[in-house]
Amino acid sequence: MKLLDILKHALQSDASDIHLIAGHPPVMRVHTVITPMEMPEITPELCRQFLTEMAPKEALARFEANKDADFSFFAPGLARFRVNAHMQRGAIGFALRIVKTKVPALQKLNLPEVITRLTYLPRGLVLVTGDTGSGKSTTLAAMIQAMNERYSKHIITLEDPVEYTFSSNRCLIEQRELGADMPSFASALKHALRQDPDIILVGEMRDLETTQLAITAAETGHLVLSTLHTVSASQTVERIIDMYPAGQQNQIRSMLANTLQAVISQTLFSRIDNPGMVPAVEILLCTPAVRNLIREARTFEIPNVIETSRQMGMITLDKCIAELYFNGMIARDDAIASANMPDKLERLIAA
């Protein structure tokens, strides 16, 4: 059994992820459903062979030291893959995320038009949030590509690992990968501020130092795009503030109120009208009213502002889910299961 045969089969099946575990046949995730491939079981020896085929030298060293490693792998003629190699029950296992080689156009992602407007921002902080596999990287890549086609600017991306690869169109784009090109997000972000960027993409604001530097970059006139693993706009604001010691939280509320431009919280659904996936999003735009709520520690009121500001382009997650359901795109059970307020959504779609 050859690695390329497994990857080719997954691509032909429109899979998003591939799992290679010793003692099991290869498994793929197709439109959120885990599906075994009709192939023989993988042996521990074959897993070790797959590791040497895919992992670069630095990743192999990290794996031997830590029993875990993240890296990217390009299969010629097929696609790029984001790979996690790990140990389980004494054998190597893999989780591969298929990275589409072509960055999709923002207009083809079934996202609200207001997200396109965000790509015209000259400065500030824009966050795309959601669970793992919710399409955050695709949304950010499409936003970067839209700016690449419109502006003549310098864009720096800091990623773990690099997923979509960009060709510099009108913009000059540099892509740096954790491990291969930089020791940490915080270190790379600190130095990026001296590299004359206009736009900075930070793969994830995963610690206090990275978060501080991202907010500082936004304060100093850069447009900063990043992600968090939060499921709503108000939770995103609170997560950032809670990263800071209690004595600094009033200061960070003020800084965040000044720099935050928008939060896009998204989740993906399997479509029932066509093959594929469709995103549902909650969008918070930082109007003067929202900035005051952040400064005054009244983030619990943010959902009400989103609910009453539809004309500005804001939308709650549940309202977006309801629209997808009424448009015949998603199943009723899926809609209710992913809602922030399932009981309220169930009453809405039953009306």
Looking at the structure of the chain, the number of domains it has is 2
Q: Which residue has the tokens 């310098």?
A: 154
Is residue 326 in some structural domain? no
What stretch of H or E contains 261? strand 260-270
Is residue 322 in some structural domain? no
Contact 186, 206 (CB under 8 A): no
Is residue 337 in some structural domain? no
Q: Which two tokens stand for residue 221?
A: 């006139």
Q: Which two tokens stand for residue 84?
A: 């996690």
138, 78: one domain: no
Is residue 350 in some structural domain? no
Contact 204, 130 (CB under 8 A): no
SS3 content of the chain, % helix, strand, coil (to 5): 40, 25, 30
Mean pLDDT of 318-336: 96
Is residue 333 in some structural domain? no
286 CB-side CA count, 13 A? 24
Is residue 334 in some structural domain? no
| Rg from Cα positions in the chain | 21
pLDDT band at 272 (very low <50, low <70, confident <90, very high): very high
CA distances from 110 to 29, 107, 260 (A): 22, 7, 24
C-alpha span between 6 and 120 (Å, rounded): 41
Identify the CA nearest to 203 among candidates 286, 49, 82. 82
C-alpha span between 133 and 130 (Å, rounded): 8
C-alpha span between 202 and 185 (Å, rounded): 7
130, 228: one domain: yes
The angle, 0 to 180 degrees and rounded to 10, between the axes of the packed helices 249-259 and 288-295 is: 170
Query: Is the full-model pTM beyond 0.95?
Result: no
pLDDT digits (tens, 9 = 90+) for 130-162: 998 899 999 999 999 999 999 999 999 999 878
Domain boundary residue, one of 83, 99, 115? 99
Mean pLDDT of 201-207: 95
Give the residue numbers spanning the domain of 82.
3-99
228, 124: one domain: yes
Domain boundary residue, one of 39, 70, 99? 99
75, 168: one domain: no
pLDDT digits (tens, 9 = 90+) for 224-252: 999 999 999 999 999 999 999 999 999 99
Q: Read off the CATH number of the domain in which 94 is found.
A: 3.30.450.90
Residue 34 pLDDT: 94
Q: Read off the CATH number of the domain in which 262 is found.
A: 3.40.50.300
pLDDT digits (tens, 9 = 90+) for 47-66: 999 999 999 998 999 999 99
Mean pLDDT of 62-77: 92
